[in-house]
Each structure stands twice: as C-alpha cells, then as structure tokens.
A and B are shown apart, each in its own frame.
Chain A
Amino acid sequence: VSGRTLRRAYRVGGDTVEVDLRLEGDRLAGTVRGEAVEARVARVNADTVSVRMGGRVLRALVARRGDVAWVAVEGRVLEVGVAAAGREAPARESAEPYAVSPMTGVVATVAVRPGAEVGAGDPLFVVEAMKMEYVVKAPREAVVKEVRRRAGERVTLGEVVVTFAEGP
C-alpha cells in the first residue's frame, strides 16, 4: 500500500500551524509546528478517529463543514481551518428568509433599511443585553424586505427583526 501525504497550514484560533505528515498503513508521521511526531491512527467509525501516541490512546470525534474541521479530544473542542493555502472558510450560510435576535434585549442600532442590498457578513442590527452587544450579520447576499424593529425597542430571543425578499 502506498502512503499518502498531507501538507497544510492548519488555522487554530489566531494561530497557523504547519503540518507535514505522511500516512503509511496505520503509521502517521512527520512534523507539526516543525517538531517530529509519530502516531498510530485508525478510524473507529464514521466520525471517530483513534490516535495512539507515546503509549496514550485518544479517541477524537472529527467532523467537517466546508473548510473547517471540528475536533473533540477529551472534552475539548477545537475548530481547525483546513483550507489549502489561499482559500478561506466560507461564512456560515443560512437559507432562512429572515434574521432573528439571538437574545432578549434592546435593539441598539439598525444598519439597514427596506430595499437595501446586503452581502454575507454585512451587519444588519445590533442587540444589547446585560451590557453586551451582539451584531447580527447577513447570512448571505440578500435584499432587505422589512425591518420590524427600531433602535431602542425591545426584542425577544428568536424574534424576527429583518426579513429578506424571496429569491436570489
């Protein structure tokens, strides 16, 4: 069986970690952050991988969405950007034709008006609660249809604040 190699710049938090690894059989070896590593790996089931390293065996839950791999090891979850160089993970898309308040609070500011064209990630409105501000962003490119709340008004968790016009 011929081996497979992987050279990536993984992104974790604000860090970039250079990974240069080769899998032969169940032996995964190479360098991580420039340091030599060696482990025995196996797939336990569709979303679980076991990593045996220096006498320790860990079972990691791994799942991908786009260019982000989520991994849990011993109760700790990491989001790892696994895109090949130059590609960025796309913003989380939502097909819902509206944007809701993520918490109960007061609308601090509204950044859009009906008819406004917004791109994915553009701020729509800001909700404030318990001295915390949360910016609600457009989930995708869309045209604003309605704005149901004004600055200063109360909103509840899950309340629809901005709706989008149907279609692309």
Chain B
Amino acid sequence: VGAVTTLPFRKVLVANRGEIALRVLRTLRALGVRSVAVHSEVDGAQRHVLEADEAVAIGPAEPRLSYLSVEAIVKAAKATGADAVHPGYGFLSEDAAFARALESARVVFVGPPAAVLEASADKLVVKRRVAQAGVPVVPGPLAPVADDRKALAQAAKETGYPLLVKAAGGGGGKGMRVVQRSSDLAGAAEAARREAGGAFGKTDLYLERLVKGARHVEVQVLADAQGHVVVLGERDCSVQRRHQKVIEESPAPTLSDYERGALHEAGAKAAAALGYQNAGTAEFLLAPGGGFWFLEMNRRLQVEHPVTEACFGVDLVAWQLRIAAGEPLPPASAFRSRGHAVEARLYAEDPENGYVPSSGTVLALREPEGPGIRVDSALLAGMEVSPHYDPLLAKVIAHGETREEAIRRLDLALRETAVLGVRTNAALLRAVLADADFRAGRHATDLLDRRGDALVAPGPAGVEALLAVAADELLPAAGRVPTPGRGPAVEGPWLRLPGFRLSERTP
C-alpha cells in the first residue's frame, strides 16, 4: 500500500527515546523528511540522537523534567521549526494537554486530535460509549463507585469476585488493585483512590470483573479525518508478566474465522464510537470459554506494532504521518495479511532475580539478521542503560508463512542475540518459545506467573563457554598480530592481512 501524495511535513520532531524513537526516525528517513531528536542530559550519546538530523537537549535525566515536559518539547519543536511531532509510545503519546499545546503552537501532533484525546481520557467514559455502540465490555458497573462503603459493597456484589478496582483516569497499572474477597475491598478502594489522586489528580474509581484464564487480544485500527476506519488484523499479547507484554503475535492463534470477524468488527465499532483518528488499538479480553470483552482503547502506536507491519507489509508510522496530514485511507481491501509474525521484547531486567531492572554499560553486542527477521533496537556497544527509563532494549520480530515457521525463525534469531554487560531476559524469551502451551497456542496471561520460575532456572555452565573465556584471556587481542622476534606489535589495518608486510623482515 503506497503513498499517493507527498507529505506536507519537511521536518518532524520525535518526542521519545530508545527503540521507538529509532523506529520513527527510520520512516522519516525513508520518506525524505528531516528529523529532530530530543534528549535528556544523560541521553546525549544514545543512538536516537546519533541517527537524527538535528538534536535538542530538553532537560535533566528525570523524565518529568525532560521527556514528560510539554513545555520543553513544544519549545524544541518551535525552535527547530518542526512541522509535526511524533510522540512514539509512553511519555506524552496520549497526553491531551500536549496535543493541545502543539495545536496552539501550530505544530501537527502525529496522533489523535486533542479533542479526541480529551474526550477519551476517562476510561470509564470510554467503556460506556463503546458499550452503547453495542460492543461487549468487561463486566462491571458503568458508573463510578461512590466514596462510601455501602455503595462500594453493592457495586462489588454486582461485579462479582475476584474483581479489579480501577482508576477512571488511570493508566500503566497505577490506581489499580486486585480484590479477591469482600474483606479486602474497602482497603483496596482506598489505596487505589489515594494513588489515583496523587498520579492523575482525579479520584474516580470503577469496578471490573477479573477474568481468569483470559487471553489478551487487540485490534489494530487506522482511522482517518474523513471518518473511515480500517482494521489491520489483531494481535495476541497473552505472554505477560505483571501486566507487561513480553511476546506478541499476529494473527491470534486458535481464533475461528467467525470469532476473528466479530472481533475486528467490534474493534472498528469501538474506534468509531470514540470518533477516533490516527492509529489506535482496541484491547479485548478473550474469555476461556469463548467470547470477548472490550478492555480499553490505546490511543497511540503500540510497542508491538511490528507484527502487524510484518503481516500486512505496511509502515504504520508512515500511515500515522499521512493521516495526521489529512490524507484519506484507501479502502480496507487495500490491506491484506499474509503469514504469521511473532515479536519478543528484550528487556534489561533479571528474570532470575524477580525481574529487577538492570542497568550499566553494554560491553558487547550481537544482533540477529536473516530472512523474515527484523530488529527494532536502540542498542549500541558502549552505551549506558540508565535506570531512569523503561527497560525495553530491543524487539526481535520474525515473520514466516506459518506460526511454526515464525516461531522457529524467532528462536534462531534469539540464539544469535547477545547483550553483554547488562542482564536481560533473553533466555526467558527462548524458554517461552519452547513451552508446550505456548507452542499449542493455549497459553493465557498467567503463563509466566504460573511457570516463570521453572522457565528461568539456569542449567549448568557449558564447558564451551568456559573455554571461550579462557581463549579470550589467552589469545592476543584483536588488531594485534604477534610479531615474533621483531619489535612491538603495532595496531593497524595492514597487520590484519596475514602474510602482508610492508618493510618488516620475515622472521
């Protein structure tokens, strides 16, 4: 699906860091649009800065004062004369005030218009509007619970246990509590209210049933300013730990054609009900006994968008830019999915030690390549992995004709992937790919919680690895060819050519 018109943007600022900033830069480069990177004090040597056309320092390491600062980023956009800002995911990507501030500064926000973000900021309002459009939503009252014990108990009874207490203005797991029994309800609600008030300045809570054994599936939509909504398939993101996705794939395994069709229709309806524009994702829970419920709308590019791009052969960032520029979408028939794609997220964290985030200097690095393999990465040998930011280092995506082929390619790719100096979850990713439930596609979101410990248990150290360490100690360093008998070893390209000598005597 190609571009018809030329983009009206000459320069676009990328308001993010890490792999997603690099991902957006790649599209800007392909489209011949100049790019501006922004960075905090500690990020000046990160790859997204090195690969942009221009770079602006926007503040200290603390996200609140740099990547989350509306003022600093709008100022950078104005100062560099950027026509548009791509927010990536996280940070300010769904921030209505940010979109509004850019609008006022006459800079295009590459995402939904500020009015759409404002109208969909309250999750409960979103849920109600989607339900009114005839889309099934996760069971629970569609009104905020009053701040009194009796009303709370009544709402919980309606919802059924176990349940989730959620903050209407929430996100990222903040202001959310799992409640197993009625005796824990009041305490959980109070804690969620306090947390939501602190984080979002809004204390509205609502209740939702906790669906056990559910899978997480989501529908990718593109919606243009002319009111067309196109569905680009679905993704299954059921391999999670602590509500953080780890492995995602498209299409979702084990869905019947009928279920898939119904899910896509529901996703399109949800987007239409919200007057949505740009790329977005409708998240659903797939119940163990069949049937699905709308969960929430993600109003940004998702981390896992590459699996959709691999199957549909599209560039979603390019579409985001075109939609933001006012270009209409082609008909749905222009988008077709082929084969299967699986993505693994490489995190700087230690699965053997409770998934604690790790930081430090990357000492050495190897990234995979091969047919059907894509790597979205911010890694650079010598780079500093900072504890200030999200621990996602890279994503490895494999595409194949079948799910089996995609999984096999991903496994081989991960075998070729290595990051030294910072602990990662690489071994866990391969263990999940080898898991019988995952292979059969019958895993649910609790896979890692149930079996994580068994999956991360290390085996004994192989003798080859120890021999490699010994060889590294004993072998001469690279670039130094031993020169027996004659003077000191000199570094230089000529000496890497065996048998080639300029003026040295043959020993």
Contacts and interface: CB of A to CB of B under 8 A. Distances in A.
A23 B467 CA distance: 11
A56 to B, nearest CB: 8
Contacts, number: 183
Contact of A69 (B62, B356, B469): B469
B432 to A, nearest CB: 13
Interface stretch (B114-122, B265-273, B471-479): B471-479
Nearest to B476: A43
Interface string A39-50: 101110111110
13 contacts: A23-B474, A33-B463, A43-B476, A49-B475, A51-B467, A60-B464, A72-B366, A75-B417, A75-B426, A77-B420, A132-B355, A132-B356, A158-B389
B474 A10 contact: no
A130 interface: yes
A104 B467 CA distance: 40
Residue picked from B63, B172, B466, most chain A C-beta under 10 Å: B466
B395 to A, nearest CB: 16
B465 interface: yes
B418 A77 contact: yes
The secondary-structure label for the interface of chain A is strand
Interface of B: 61-64, 172, 174, 195, 198-199, 242, 354-357, 359-361, 363-366, 381, 386-390, 414-421, 423-424, 426-427, 430, 458, 461-479, 482, 484
A13 B476 CA distance: 27
A63 interface: yes
Contact of B420 (A32, A61, A104, A159): A61
A13 B461 contact: yes
B363 A160 contact: no
Contact of B363 (A51, A63, A73, A80): A63
A47 B474 CA distance: 13
A63 B478 contact: no
Nearest to B429: A75
Contacts of A13: 458, 461
A35 B419 CA distance: 30
Contact of B364 (A32, A61, A157): A61
